[in-house]
Structures are given as structure tokens and as C-alpha cells.
Amino acid sequence: MSTTKSTKLMPLAVALFALGVAAVVAMFVAGEHGLPAWVFAAGWLLAPAGLALGVLSAVRNARPRPRR
């Protein structure tokens, strides 16, 4: 089995999702005040983007390969 582009996307998806979850955890630990705006933006954007990229990568890997 050869390495495809979608298998290379999965580590990126996991990293984005982990950074987003870390930002959300930081929001809960620090409270609503005292955090810069980029932490809120990271929590709102990175976790869903990582999840969507991971689902896309999994779906692309599950599709049957075209025959030549």
C-alpha cells in the first residue's frame, strides 16, 4: 500500500484538533478574562478545522482505489 496524500493529512488534522482543544482548556482554566483574543479564535477555529480535516482524510482513505 502506498502512502497517499490523505494519509499525510491525518497528522496535520490531529495537531490542529489538539491545539484547538488546548485553547479551549486554557479558556476554561483561565476564565473569560485575561486571555488574548487569539486564544479564543484558536479554540473556535482550530478544533473544528482539525476535526473536519480528520474526517475528510478518513473518508478519502476509506474510498476504494480506482483500477488501472
43 vs 1, residue with greater confidence: 43
18 vs 63, residue with greater confidence: 18
Q: What global pTM score does this model have? A: 0.76
pLDDT, tens digit, for every residue of 13-59?
999 999 999 988 888 888 767 778 888 888 889 999 999 999 999 88
- Would you list the domain boundaries of the chain? 5-62
pLDDT for the residue 5: 60
CB burial readout 35-45, b (16+ within 10 A) else e: eeeebeebbee
Distance (Å, whole) CA 19 – CA 54: 14
- Looking at residue 10, its amino acid is M
